[in-house]
Amino acid sequence: MQHRIVVLGAGYTGAVAAGRIAKRLHREDVTITLVNPEPDFVERVRLHQLAAGQDLRPRPFGEMFAGTGVALKLAKVTAVDVDRRTVAVTAVNGRGQEELEYDTLVYALGSGWNDGGVPGTGEHAHDISGRPGALRLRDRLAALDAGRPVVVIGGGLTGLEAATEIAEARPDLDVALAARGALGDWLSAKGRAHLRKVVDGLGITVHDHTAVTAVEADRVRTADGRSIPAEVTVWTTGFAVHPIAGATTLEVTDHGRIVVDSTMRSVSHPDVYAVGDAAMAIGPAGKPLRMSCASGIPMAWQAADAIAARLAGTKVPRVPVRYFQQCISLGRREGLIQFVTADDRAVDRTLTGRVAALYKELICKGAAWGVANPTAGMPSRRRRVLPGELPGRARAEAAA
**DSSP-assigned letters across all residues of 345-379:** -EEEEEEEHHHHHHHHHHHHHHHHHHHH-TTTTS-
Distance CA 268, CA 260 (A): 8
Task: Please report whether residue 349 resides in a domain.
Answer: no
Task: Please report whether residue 381 resides in a domain.
Answer: no
| pLDDT on residue 111 | 93
Q: Answer yes or no: do 156 and 298 share one domain.
A: no
Q: Answer yes or no: do 102 and 61 share one domain.
A: yes
Q: Answer yes or no: do 102 and 121 share one domain.
A: no
Q: Give the three-state DSSP class for 43.
A: coil
Q: Answer yes or no: do 208 and 264 share one domain.
A: no
Task: Please report whether residue 327 resides in a domain.
Answer: no
Q: Answer yes or no: do 282 and 227 share one domain.
A: no
Distance CA 253, CA 234 (A): 28
Q: Answer yes or no: do 7 and 100 share one domain.
A: yes
pLDDT in tens, the chain (400 residues): 899 999 999 999 999 999 999 999 998 999 999 999 999 999 999 999 999 999 998 999 999 898 889 999 999 999 999 999 999 999 987 778 999 999 999 999 999 999 889 999 999 999 999 999 999 999 999 999 999 999 999 999 999 999 999 999 999 999 999 999 999 999 999 999 999 999 999 999 999 999 999 999 999 999 999 999 999 999 999 889 989 999 999 999 999 999 999 999 999 999 999 999 999 999 999 999 999 999 999 999 999 999 999 999 999 998 889 999 999 999 999 999 999 999 999 999 999 999 999 999 999 998 888 887 766 555 556 778 887 776 654 444 444 3
Q: Answer yes or no: do 162 and 302 share one domain.
A: no
Task: Please report whether residue 73 resides in a domain.
Answer: yes
> Which of 171, 201, 235 is the C-terminal boundary of a domain?
235
**Prediction pTM value:** 0.92
> Which of 320, 339, 361 is the C-terminal boundary of a domain?
320
CATH number at residue 291: 3.50.50.60
Distance CA 308, CA 383 (A): 8
Distance CA 398, CA 1 (A): 11
Q: Answer yes or no: do 152 and 55 share one domain.
A: no
Task: Look at strands 272-274 and 205-207 and give their pairing.
Answer: unpaired
Helices (H), the chain: 12-24, 47-51, 61-64, 121-124, 131-142, 157-169, 189-201, 293-312, 353-372, 392-399
80 DSSP 8-state letter: E
Task: Please report whether residue 368 resides in a domain.
Answer: no
Q: Answer yes or no: do 203 and 229 share one domain.
A: yes
CA distance between the termini of the chain: 15
Q: Answer yes or no: do 63 and 50 share one domain.
A: yes
Task: Please report whether residue 365 resides in a domain.
Answer: no
| pLDDT on residue 129 | 92
Neighbours of 58 (CB within 10 A): 9
| pLDDT on residue 393 | 45
Q: Which domain holds residue 262?
A: 3-112+239-320
Q: Which among 74, 83, 78 has a CA at the least distance from the CA of 102? A: 83
Distance CA 278, CA 86 (A): 18
Q: Answer yes or no: do 193 and 150 share one domain.
A: yes
Task: Please report whether residue 30 resides in a domain.
Answer: yes
Task: Please report whether residue 332 resides in a domain.
Answer: no
Q: Answer yes or no: do 64 and 122 share one domain.
A: no
Number of domains in the chain: 2
Distance CA 310, CA 5 (A): 13
Phi, psi torsion values for 93, nearest 5 degrees? -85, 5
> Which of 199, 220, 235 is the C-terminal boundary of a domain?
235
